[in-house]
Structure 1
Amino acid sequence: MTTYGTIPTASSPGATTTSSTYLELKKGSKKEALVRLKTNAAYFGMNYAIIILIILFLSLLWHPISLIVFIVMMAAWLFLYFLRDEPLEVFGRTIDDLVVLILLGVLTIVFLLLTHVTLNVIVSLVIGVVAVVVHGVIRKIDDLFLDEEATGLMSTASGGGAASSSS
């Protein structure tokens, strides 16, 4: 019997569900939700920034001057936050990533507000923050930190390849 094109149900053998990664909202408390939000913000911080910037970009498509300002600021985001391998140093002092994130975020918002798109910026930021908070609260944090053996990093780091991990 072939099952091509069918949607597996929970009763069918071998079916997997994504409920292990996401949490039912009924089971958690406010304190647990805050812990999940903080952990997910630390783990997915760069992804969250990208999501908010994409939503902000989409809201500016019909405002060419604002879009130009946003593209210039995106270049600053790329060079100062997303594409850096080393910590940012200014006058011999190391600047923390959180400080860079906050400074770039504030400068982006201020420069966009100067182009008279206040409502677009506010609405897009609210939508982006709501999306990030919803993900941060419902995403389970149990599986964020994988064991080195489970990912295969331990076996390749020891120089023995995949065969050395089996005993």
Structure 2
Amino acid sequence: MAAACALSLFTASFSLALLSIIIMLWILLYLFREDPLVLWGHSISDQWVLFYLVSISVLAVWVCGMVENLVIGFGVGCLVCGFHVIFRKLDGLYLEEDDAVCYGLVHCSGSSS
């Protein structure tokens, strides 16, 4: 789904550049930060950082007109997932308990009486 949405943004280079900047902000300010964020001597909580990052992301998507591109990408992603569900073969995905013991995937620790 994410790949389909990202591919839909290749038509607008400014939107793609802005999206990459926002992703860098998310990575730097939320994912890889271990210590509390301190600005001008004040500690900012993680809830406020999350609130501002979500607000900036939504505002950027709306202002740049990326909503239509993301909806199209999301729709294509849903179609790809739907086709995957329809055409996927489920044969051989599950093992019976006896087969698992025979292949050594499950170890019986107790003795049967």
- Equivalence for 2:47: 98
Asked if 1:65 corresponds to 2:14, the answer is: yes
Matches within 5 A, 1:12-161: 57-121=6-70, 124=74
Structure having greater relative contact order (Cα 8 Å, sep ≥ 6): 2
Q: Which runs of 5+ in 1 are unaligned?
A: 1-50, 128-167
Q: In the alignment, is the contact (CA less than 8 A) between 1:69 and 1:112 conserved in 2?
A: no
Q: In the alignment, is the contact (CA less than 8 A) between 1:57 and 1:70 conserved in 2?
A: no
Q: In the alignment, is the contact (CA less than 8 A) between 1:109 and 1:121 conserved in 2?
A: no
Query: C-alpha root-mean-square deviation of aligned residues, in Å?
Result: 2.8
- Paired residues, number: 74
Percent of aligned positions that are identical? 24
TM-score (norm 1): 0.37
C-alpha distance 99-63 of structure 1, shift in aligned 2 (>3 A): same
Name the SS of the counterpart of 1:61 in structure 2.
helix
In our comparison, the structure showing a higher alpha carbon Rg is 2
C-alpha distance 60-92 of structure 1, shift in aligned 2 (>3 A): same
C-alpha distance 59-106 of structure 1, shift in aligned 2 (>3 A): farther
Q: In the alignment, is the contact (CA less than 8 A) between 1:81 and 1:100 conserved in 2?
A: yes
C-alpha distance 88-61 of structure 1, shift in aligned 2 (>3 A): same
Q: Which runs of 5+ in 2 are unaligned?
A: 78-113
Name the SS of the counterpart of 1:60 in structure 2.
helix
TM-score (norm 2): 0.51
Indicate the structure with greater helix content: 2
